[in-house]
Amino acid sequence: MTFVSDWAQLKADAQEGQSAHMQLNAAEPKPDGSQSGLDADLVVHQDDLGAVGNEAFRIHGELGKCSDIAGAGMDRDGAGTTARGAAELQGRNFSSGTELYTTLEVWSSQVKTVLQMCAHISNHLDYTKKLHANDEAEIATALRRRDGAAVPVSELLQYVK
């Protein structure tokens, strides 16, 4: 079976199981039959975010210590053993000295990128949690009737049509 025929079969199988329709997400009714308008759609537990943030922070610290080949074995001038080795090789006319410098620069650049990503993840999670909590409160306030009751989904559908 060729890729084209295999792909066409997969698409046909997928279309059989689905019909074209639109679906709006809605909160499930509570066991007593009332709507759960106060429940947030986006549910992220602080423990989950905390675990991810702590892991990103831990990786940031460990990676910063273990991956510093540029600063490892620094001398008084601030040159690490890798940079000194590259200089020694270059001084003795070995082309591998230049390549070792290039490797050191690329490695340092990539480590800095990963460190920035870990720091961004760690810092961004707190901000995201606060932002979404504020958004949920604002949306919940805006989608209330004058008497304070939640606006039902059927009424919201009128605005979508």
> For the segment 52-94, what is each residue's pLDDT rounded down to a tens digit?
888 888 998 888 888 877 667 777 777 788 888 899 999 999 9
Q: Which pLDDT value is given to residue 113? A: 93
pLDDT at 28: 59
State what percent of residues in the chain have pLDDT above 90: 16
Helix axis angle for 81-91 and 96-142, nearest 10°, is 150
In the predicted model, what is the mean pLDDT of residues 113-132?
84
This prediction's pTM? 0.49
Q: Which residues, in sequence order, are bridge partners of residue 144?
A: 150
Q: Check if the beta carbon of residue 61 is closer than 8 Å to that of residue 50.
A: no
**For 147, how many CA atoms within 13 A lie in the half-sphere containing its CB?**
2
Going by C-beta distance under 8 Å and a sequence separation of 6 or more, which residues neighbour residue 13? none
